[in-house]
Amino acid sequence: MEIIKIRGKKTLSGTIEIGGAKNSAVSLVPAAVLSDKTIIHNVPEISDIEALRDILKYLGVKIVKRGSSYSLDATNLENKPITLEQSKKLRASYYFMGAFLGKFKHAEMYFPGGCSIGQRPIDLHLSGFEKLGATITIDYDNRYIIDAKELKGAEINLRFASVGATVNLLLAAVYAKGTTTITNAAREPEVGNVIDFLNSMGAKITGKDTSTLVIEGVKELKGGEASVIPDRIEAGTYVIAGVINGHNLKVQNVIPKHITALTNVLKKMGANIEVHEDYILVNKTTKLKAVNIKTAPYPGFPTDLQQPITSLLTQAEGTSVVTETIYENRFQNVPYLVQMGADIIIKDNKIIINGPTKLKGSTVITTDLRAGAALIIAALAAEGETSIKEIKYVLRGYENIINKLKNVGGKISLEDV
C-alpha cells in the first residue's frame, strides 16, 4: 500500500508549475473519437488519463505520445461496448456515451465511476440524449443501451448547469441534424476548452463561456487540435498550501481569472497574495481572518476547492461557515481534520469552523480526490508527521504532486508500506 508522509511546518518557496486541467483533459480525450486524426497538447500525467488511454486502445484508437502532446488516430475506431471495469475506473468514462451516440448513433456502457462525493446521477445526460432522439434501455446487467435512428437538433434546458451533462450533450449534438440549443449550460472554462476543440474539427458551436450554447449539426468532423488549459483547481490547491506555509512561492502557468472566486476569498482572509498575468505569488501571512464560503457553479466558488480551503480555514481567526451546494457528501475530510486538532462541526450541508487551532500530525485516510488534497494541506500546517493512506485518489487528479511540493521545500515522500 502506498502512503504519503509529510512533515509539517516547512516553508514552501520557489516555483510550482501548473499542468493541464484534469477536467478538460478527461473530456478532450474522449472527444477525439468524434474525428479522425487529432492532436491534444498539455495533457497531464494522472491516473484518470491513464484509464482513458486504456479505453482508447481497446477501442482501436492509435495514440502517439510525445511528452505531454498526444497524437490520436481514431480512423479505425471500433463501435463496441465499454466494459464494466473501464466504465467504473473514472467519472469521465461517461463521455463515451455522448461521443459514441454522436458518431455511431449507438452507445453501450455502465454507470460511470469517480469519487464518491454524492449521488451524482446522470439523468440530465440521459434526458438530453432522449431529446436529441435517442431511446435508452437498461439491460439485465444494468448497462445503458443508448440508440437512435438519427439524432435531431433539440432545445435542451438543463435543470442544473452540470459540466458533465453539458459536455456530453455537445459531443452528441455536433452530429445531430439541425440546430440544438442548450440553455442553463455549464460555463466552466473546461467546457470552453472542449468547444474550441470541437470547432477546430469543423463543429459549429457558438455561445462559449455563456449559459446558452447553440450547435449547428454537421455531417463530418475532421482533424482538430487543442491545448489543455491550466488546471485552475491544481493552481488553487497550491496557492492555498502557499498561504498556509509559503514564502516567495510562485504558482506559475495560471489563468488568474479562472480562480478569481478563490483569490477574492483569500484576499478577504488577509492572505498575502499577488495576482500577476500568469502566476500568483504567495508570501508569508501573519494573521488570517475567518470567512464564509458557499460553493456554486462557475464563476462561483468551486466545490473542488471547498475541501482544500477548509484546511486553511482551521488556521483563520474566528468562525467560518462553509456551505456546500453541489454535492451532499463532500465533508469526508472533516473527521480527519478534527482528529488532527481542528474544531469543526458538520450541520447538514454546512460546516462551522472555529479557528485558529493547532494541527498535529496523525494517520489519516483519503476518501476522495479533493479530500486528499485537503489532508495534504492540513499535514503541511501540522506539527510533526502525518501519514496519508489511500493516496490513489490524489494521483487521479494531481500530476506529480510529491515532486512539485518537494521541489519547493516540502518534506513529503511516497512510501510503499
Residues labelled as active-site residues: 115
Minimal distance, residue 187 CB to ligand UD1, in Å: 11
> Nearest 5 degrees, angle CA 125-CA 56-CA 304?
50
Binding mask 165-204 for ligand UD1 (x = CB under 6 A): x---------------------------------------
DSSP tag of 226: E
Q: Reply yes or no: is the peptide bond before residue 302 cis, omega within 30 of 0.
A: no
Please count the other Cβ atoms lying within 10 Å of the Cβ belonging to residue 3. Answer: 19
Under 8 Å between Cβ of 172 and 102: yes
User: Contact 147/108 with Cβ under 8 angstroms?
Assistant: no
Q: Does 30 bind ligand UD1 (CB under 6 A)?
A: no
Closer residue to ligand UD1, CB minimum distance, 184 or 362? 184
Q: Closest distance between ligand UD1 and the C-beta of residue 13, in Å? A: 29
What is the size of the binding site for ligand UD1 (CB under 6 A)? 21
Q: Tell me which amino acid residue 172 is.
A: A
Q: Which is nearer to ligand UD1, 167 or 337 (CB)?
A: 167
Minimum distance, C-beta of residue 170 to ligand UD1, in the bound complex (Å): 13
Selected binder of ligand UD1 within 12, 19, 23, 33 (CB under 6 A): 23
Could you tell me if 316 and 291 are in contact, meaning their C-beta atoms sit under 8 angstroms apart?
Answer: yes
Indicate the residue among 165 and 176 with the shorter CB distance to ligand UD1.
165
> CA-CA distance, 293 to 337, in Å (whole number)?
18
Name residues whose C-beta falls within 8 Å of residue 257's C-beta, 6 or more positions apart in sequence: none
Please return the burial class of 137, using the count of CB atoms within 10 Å of its CB with bins 0-12, 13-18 and 19+.
Answer: exposed
Which is nearer to ligand UD1, 121 or 223 (by Cβ)? 121
163 is an interface residue for ligand UD1 by CB under 6 A: yes
With CA atoms as reference, report the closest residue to 321 among 286, 287, 282, 347: 347
First to last CA, the chain: 5
- Piece in contact with ligand UD1 (CB under 6 A), picked from 55-63, 117-125, 258-266, 278-286: 117-125
Of 5, 89, 105, 125, the one binding ligand UD1 by CB under 6 A: 125
For 15, the 3-state DSSP assignment is strand
Residue 167 CB, nearest approach to ligand UD1 (Å)? 7
**Shortest CB 171 distance to ligand UD1, Å:** 13
Kindly tell me which of 125 and 404 has the beta carbon lying closer to ligand UD1.
Answer: 125
Q: How far is the CB of 326 from ligand UD1 (least distance, A)?
A: 5
Find the helix or strand (DSSP H, E) in which 236 lies: helix 232-245
* 28 binding ligand UD1? (CB under 6 A): no
Member of 40, 56, 68, 91 binding ligand UD1 (CB under 6 A): 91
Residues between 309 and 338 with contacts to ligand UD1, criterion CB under 6 A = 326-327
Contact between 415 and ligand UD1 by CB under 6 A: the answer reads no
User: Where do we find the cell 462561483?
Assistant: 300
For residue 92, state whether it binds ligand UD1 (rule: CB under 6 A). yes
CB 152 within 8 A of CB 132: yes
Q: Does residue 304 interact with ligand UD1 by CB under 6 A? A: yes
CA distance 215 to 174: 6
Sheet containing strand 135-138, edge to edge, reads 106-110, 143-147, 135-138
Interface contacts to ligand UD1, rule CB under 6 A: 23, 26, 91-92, 118-125, 160, 162-165, 303-304, 326-327
